[in-house]
A and B are shown apart, each in its own frame.
Chain A
């Protein structure tokens, strides 16, 4: 209970930091903190392997890419702000959406699943079990992700390539 409360507070503060901090680098570092906290939440949910992957892929690879681009482009804080009316509409939309889903979830209380049965069934979300589903039920999705990654790779290279061909095309 206390663990969840602490993790939830840290997660929400980190998420608010991503949205509210004006310097892109600060926001990205706040997101790194949020993602690492989320990895801890995954551990409390018996998903140890996913927690490791979360740290390596999200906290490592993806966020390094973000920070690299922010520093490469030397992005500063935004010069203009969104019009106040639009900003308040966005805040209201966010609060209403969060409140709606949260009350929907909390109005449907269930017993916390038996910890022993869960750890017996999931075995800490072991790679062995994930592989069984990934290469069984999720085979089509797995192959499509392979195609997607190849497409993304070709796309990323093509984007840079066109730049190299037309250097003076500003």
Chain B
């Protein structure tokens, strides 16, 4: 399968995730959609890693290593994000982001 099909699929999943971020109101659903977007980016990176593999082993594998870093960052993001979510929920009994409008600057 040529690389562009994987990139198109990645774009589609990224857009679906973006729509989720824009339309859902519960903070946890927004988080799930963000995970979807991160994974779409990972798919594009892995597809390009295969695409450039012919240019040299290390050139190709760089894309896969970047996915590795993104995985670690996503894990950290989820840990802190869900911690914040639990704290907010305990204070307000709601994760609706509209009720948190005073958090903005």
Chain B residues with Cβ below 8 Å from A91 are 19, 23
Give B contacts to A, CB under 8 Å: 1-9, 11-20, 22-26, 28-29, 31-33, 35-36, 39, 42-43, 46-47, 49-51, 53-54, 56-58, 60-62, 64-69, 71-80, 82-87, 89-91, 95-96, 98
| CB-CB under 8 A for A169 and B4, given A121-B54, A160-B83 | no
Assess whether A19 is in contact with B68, with CB atoms less than 8 Å apart: no
Known: A31-B35, A49-B64, A79-B96. 18 other contacts (CB 8 A): A18-B33, A19-B16, A19-B20, A28-B32, A42-B46, A50-B46, A69-B86, A75-B95, A80-B25, A110-B4, A118-B54, A129-B58, A133-B65, A149-B75, A149-B76, A152-B77, A153-B79, A159-B86
Give A contacts to B, CB under 8 Å: 1, 4, 8, 11-12, 15-16, 18-19, 24, 27-28, 31, 34-35, 38, 41-42, 44-47, 49-50, 53-54, 57-58, 61-62, 65-66, 69-70, 72-73, 75, 78-82, 86-87, 89-91, 93-95, 97-98, 101-102, 105-106, 108-114, 117-118, 121-123, 125, 129-130, 132-134, 137-138, 141-142, 145, 148-149, 151-153, 155-156, 159-160, 162-163, 169-170
| CB-CB under 8 A for A11 and B65, given A113-B51, A118-B50, A122-B57 | no
**Chain A residues touching B, majority SS:** helix
| CB-CB under 8 A for A4 and B5, given A12-B12, A24-B29, A50-B64 | yes
Chain A residues with Cβ below 8 Å from B67 are 47, 50
Chain A residues with Cβ below 8 Å from B53 are 46, 113, 117-118, 121-122
Neighbour of A102 across the interface among B8, B66, B75, CB < 8 A = B8
Name which of B14, B53, B71, B83 has the most chain A CB atoms within 10 A of its CB. Answer: B53
Assess whether B16 is in contact with A141, with CB atoms less than 8 Å apart: no
A53 to B75, CA, bound (A): 12
Assess whether B64 is in contact with A110, with CB atoms less than 8 Å apart: no
Assess whether A45 is in contact with B47, with CB atoms less than 8 Å apart: yes
A31 to B54, CA, bound (A): 33
